[in-house]
Amino acid sequence: MNIIEANGLGKNYGSTGALRDCSLAIPAGHMVALVGPNGAGKSTLLNLAVGLTAPTSGSIRVLGEWSPGSPEALDGIAFVAQDMPLYKNLSVADMLHLTRNLNRRFDRNFAESRLADLGIPLKRNAGGMSGGQQAQLALTLALARHPRLLVLDEPMATLDPLARHDFMATVMAAMVDDGISVLLSSHVLTELERVADYLVLVSQGRVQVAGEVDDLLAHHQLLTGPTSRVDELSSRANVVSERRGASQTQLLVRTAGIEGAAPAGWDTHTVGLEELALAYLREPNAGSLPGPARHPGGALEGAST
């Protein structure tokens, strides 16, 4: 089952195109990292997936078959936005009561037990809590609905490192204990590299990269060699990005995983998620790669992975 499946999806705000010709299929069971610069279309894609806005063109389905915003989709998806949608003048108990009344399914016992474990009193006003506690309250309200898909839009943007760690530990535990899928939009690439196993990279309103992290990394590599031979190599390689110096140049290239030695004078290095994401963010016109199984990229003859 695909938690999100989009075909030719587009969204315009007036004359501005926020998302264009987006086609992707994200399978269930993953921690999906949604990455892109500000204004790339990430929040628009999330809003379309949870039914907060309607597409201008194309189509989108969630949880295998449902239209976003339908009763079945609303029952199966929980959403935590960047601004932590809490009523700051309400107590924690009031927030539980309100959330219960606004949803057809809500496990209040689970919520109260989890908040007690976190040391968050039910009588405390949401506005009087720390940023980390507010994030945990918002996450608890989402998890108490026992969703099949948890959508998180920059939930850690204002949190300190310890609060970010605790927040992600809770999300990872929910994946293991409840079998939920997670779609997480974040600028904190180092945090994503530790937890994500699926990557969707959006730039200039288009999906540039989508696929399982291990597969994507296996189909890319870094080459370091003499600047004097860059043009010769570039003519044979599918280059995503380059950092050219006076004597040495580093290239990030797509490969087809061909075994063998690197070209003479060039050293090969494995690629990390952060390096891969940054390369496509720097070069948004490098060409889309909607999954290595379908589009493994150009092979670099004689290169190894």
Entry field: residues in the chain: 305
Write out residues in the chain with pLDDT < 70, as ranges: 84, 235-236, 256-263, 284-305
Give the N- to C-terminal CA distance of the chain in Å, as an integer.
Answer: 31
| Nearest-angstrom CA–CA distance, 39 and 144 | 31
What is the pTM assigned to this prediction? 0.85
Task: For 11-62, write each residue's pLDDT tens digit.
Answer: 999 888 899 999 999 999 999 999 988 888 899 999 999 999 999 999 999 9
Domain covering 2-213, topology: Rossmann fold (3.40.50)
Choose among 245, 239, 260: nearest CA to 305.
260
Q: Give which of 157, 167, 183 is closest to 32, Cα–Cα.
A: 183
Burial class (CB in 10 A: 0-12, 13-18, 19+), 71: exposed
C-alpha 88/C-alpha 130 separation (Å) is 12
Q: What DSSP assignment string belongs to 218-254? A: HTEEEEEEEGGGHHHHHTTSEEEEEEE-SSEEEEEEE
The pLDDT > 90 percentage for the chain reads 49
pLDDT of amino acid 261: 53
| CA–CA distance, 239 with 218 (Å, rounded to integer) | 15
Q: Would you say 64 and 1 are in contact if contact means Cβ atoms under 8 Å apart?
A: yes
C-alpha dihedral (242, 254, 235, 202), degrees to nearest 10:
-60
Parse the chain into domains and list their residue ranges. 2-213, 219-282
CA 228 to chain centre: 38
| pLDDT value at residue 295 | 35
pLDDT at 257: 42
Q: Tell me what pLDDT residue 158 has.
A: 78
The tokens for 37 are 């610069």
What whole-number distance in Å separates Cα of residue 220 and Cα of residue 199?
A: 14
